[in-house]
Each structure stands twice: as C-alpha cells, then as structure tokens.
Amino acid sequence: MNQREFENEVKNLLNEHEKLIRRKNEPLPSKNHIFRRYKYPIITAEHTPIFWRFDLNYDTNPNLLERLGINSAFNCGATKCNGRYCLVVRVEGYDRKSFFAVAESSNGIDNFRFWDYPIIMPEIDRPDVNVYDIRLTQHEDSWIYGVFCTERKDPKAPEWDTFSAEAQAGIARTKDLIHWERLPNLKSPSLQQRNVVLHPEFVDGKYGFYTRPQDEFIQTRKGGGIGWGLVEDIENPVITEEIIIHPKAYHTIYEVKNGEGPAPLKTDEGWMHLAHGVRNTAGGLRYVLYLYMTDLKKPWQMTHLPGGYFLAPEGEERVGDVSNVVFSSGWIADENGNVFIYYGSSDTRTHVVTTTLEKLIDYVVNTPEDPLRSTLCVKQRKDLIDRNLKIGRVK
C-alpha cells in the first residue's frame, strides 16, 4: 500500500478500537438475585492499544503488519485509585509470555482503557520466565502489594524436559501502580506455591498470607487446600509454619484443588473470601468460584462455608484457551456497599458481575453447607420444598 492508504488504514484501526473501548455494557437479568452479569466482556485482547501490537511507522512497516500480537487479557487484580476502578490485567502475547498492565474505568463495568505502558516489573536474582495472576492488597501499612505467580523451569528437571516448571509467590509493592519495588519471593515449607494472597491487616503485628501449597507445578498431590501463614518481616518474607484452613475434599467443587481469589473484604460479620475450586470431569478440569467467611480476629478460622459454587462459566465463558474455567483474583467494594467482582473466563477474557455486600453476607451466612452425601443433599432440598409449600406461594 502507498503512504496515503497506510494512513487511512491506521485511522480505521484506531477508530474501530475506540468504538470497542466506548461500547456501553448492558446488564443482564439476574437468574439468582445474588449478582448481575453483563452482556459483554469488559476486557479482551482487542482492548489492548493498537500501538502495542502494530508498528505504525510507514518506513519500517509499509504493509501495516501486526508485529507483537496479544492472545488474551484475563485474571486481573483490582483496586480503586483516585476514584477510578483500576485493574492490573494479565496480558498474554502470542509468544505465551504474560505481563501486567493497568486498565482503568470511571464506572467499573465498561470503557476500560489501558495505560500507555505495561508495568515494568523488576526482577530478582533468579529472573522470572513468566509472571501472572496478580492479587492486589491495600495493606494497612499504606503500601499496595501485588502478590503473583512467578514461574521458571524446574531446576531439577533434565535439559530435555521443557515442560516441568516451578511456581513460587512473587511479591512487589507500589504507591501508584506505576513504580514497583520488588521484594524477595515468599519462602514457605511447601515445595511450590500458587494463588498466594496477602491479608489486608496486621495479625499480631505480622503479615498474614493465604497460600496454596503444592508438591508439583500442576498437581498438588499431598499439598493443596487454602493455607495460612505469618511473616515477621515483609522484606524478608518467610513462613515457618503453614496450616491448611480449607482443604480439598472428595466429590466436591474443590476435589482436585482450591485457592484464594482476591484479598478478603472486611464486613461486620467477618472476613468475606472469594476462592476458586477445581473438580474433575470427563471433559477435563472445571474451575468455579465459591465464597466463605472467616473470623474477624482470627482470619484463619472459617465461620461460614456455603455449599456448592457461587459462580460457574456460562455460554461463551466456557470456551477459550483453557475451557470451562472461571477464575477471579480481583474485586472492589465501594463505600456505598456495591461490589464489583472481576473474573477471567477460560484463560481468555475478563468479565464483571455486580452485587452488594449485603447480598453477599446474606448468601454466605444463610446458605446451607454441603452435607457431602447425596441422601443428605436430598433431605436439605426436601426441607426447602416443605417450607415453600407450607406458605402456599408455588401454585
């Protein structure tokens, strides 16, 4: 193409991108009266800036070819900054490497726009090969902490083995989401760590971490479950004792593994937690989200655990690079009680559901636990049917 055609095509690319960014999201009818889904994903690969992907210089790219493609944008951390909803998104290039980038919106449900540059995350002595799934915690020590998975080749693997990996918890902190200070990786009694989250407040003067110990990169084996441990010094983060506060369990939504989502929300009833559970199916692993609550003074002690899942993949959410998966690492609670839950679907795109803290507390406190046997589950449902028939509103 000649230079005039080039300039016109660049203009078309930018105009179409702007239309996508400005598209209004539409709330969908709530099926469960707990939360509300929205018609469109809030962030996809196409939401990333054109100038991240294309060389827009005619002299060096006269055919206007895409140079650095983006494959997906999902599994974001979330926080409020200067009154705006800021997501630290896991962005994955065509090269399979993930990086973090901030997208912000004025209303939390649409018009998310990426900042000009991705986050430049400092490295430690042993460089990360891949980083992903960051959780943000606005800690009472005044820092915003990002705890994320840092992945490298397993040093014990032979040279020919290009699959075996090692996952650990990377830690960084910031005041503005632009400048980040990298701290040492978390050390714990476990061989590997994923889905690690920093508690928002000091516990007995120490930093509390929710962990997910595992023996291997993919399989938890003897590890697994949501763990808890304390760190004396965040600049030398070492957990000497790690306990499991919610184990995986046979024939449940978390029979294979489970892990903490975003940092918990403080409520009058206790700490509200969002987590993911993984089960086996004939079609592979299925990831869903569930809620639980822990004690305000002892956040490692569970007080409420509703049975079953809170949110599962639906429709297009079930299809993607890793299908049949929803995964959350970010939510925002506004002062007026509204809650925005951000989740990735099938390792491909990012969605939001909205609810209120009042509804979440009602759901967690008053939803029955899983009785763990079919006969008891039927009895549980029969009791509900009996109560409904007694009030005579079902015919």
Q: What is the pLDDT of residues 246-303, one digit of tens each?
A: 999 999 999 999 999 999 999 999 999 999 999 999 999 999 999 999 999 999 999 9
3-state secondary structure of 101: strand
What local confidence, expressed as pLDDT, does residue 334 receive?
98
SS3 letters across 272-302: EEEEEEEEEECCEEEEEEEEEEECCCCCCCE
Query: Which residues contact residue 293 at a Cβ distance below 8 angstroms, ignoring those fewer than 6 apart?
Result: 267, 269, 270, 271, 272, 273, 302, 303, 304, 305, 364, 365
Element (H, E) at 352: strand 349-356
Segments in the chain forming alpha helices (H)? 3-22, 50-53, 357-366, 374-391
Question: Can you give the pLDDT at residue 156?
Answer: 86
Whole-number pLDDT of residue 195: 95
Q: What's the pLDDT at 198? A: 98
Summary mean pLDDT of the chain = 96
How much is the pLDDT for 220? 66
Strands 165-174 and 70-81: unpaired
Per-residue confidence (pLDDT) for residue 222, from 0 to 100: 73
**pTM across the whole model:** 0.96
Listed as ranges, residues in the chain with pLDDT below 50 are: none
* Both structure tokens of 251: 């024939």
| Rounded Cα gap, residues 279 and 251, in angstroms | 8
The Cα 87–Cα 133 span in angstroms is 12
